[in-house]
Amino acid sequence: WIMVGSFLFMIIIGTALLLLPRATVGGISFFNALFTATSAVCVTGLTTIDVATTFTTEGYIIYNALQTIHSIQ
């Protein structure tokens, strides 16, 4: 249960952080943020958006941190 809880916690936090106005250039929908956060935490690399043009530097740091933090576990 600890692994499942840690995945869910990181996905929820990641989704919230990616929805911040400073994280994207023009904003993204809740479902795009949820899918991107889930993909980053699971380190699959799948996205429904263009990461390079959608995220600001802060958003890119959040995205990469989600990938890195959970891949260490």
pLDDT of residue 43: 79
Mean pLDDT of the chain: 89
Q: What's the whole-model pTM score?
A: 0.88
Nearest one of 29, 30, 53, 39 to 7, comparing CA atoms: 39
In SS3 terms, the chain reads as: CHHHHHHHHHHHHHHHHHCCHHHECCCCCHHHHHHHHHHHHCCCCCCCCCHHHHECHHHHHHHHHHHHHHHHC
Per-residue pLDDT tens digits for 28-59? 999 999 999 999 988 777 888 888 899 999 99
Nearest one of 6, 32, 2 to 63, comparing CA atoms: 32
Cβ pair 49, 36 in contact under 8 A: yes
Q: What's the whole-number mean pLDDT along residues 17-38?
A: 94
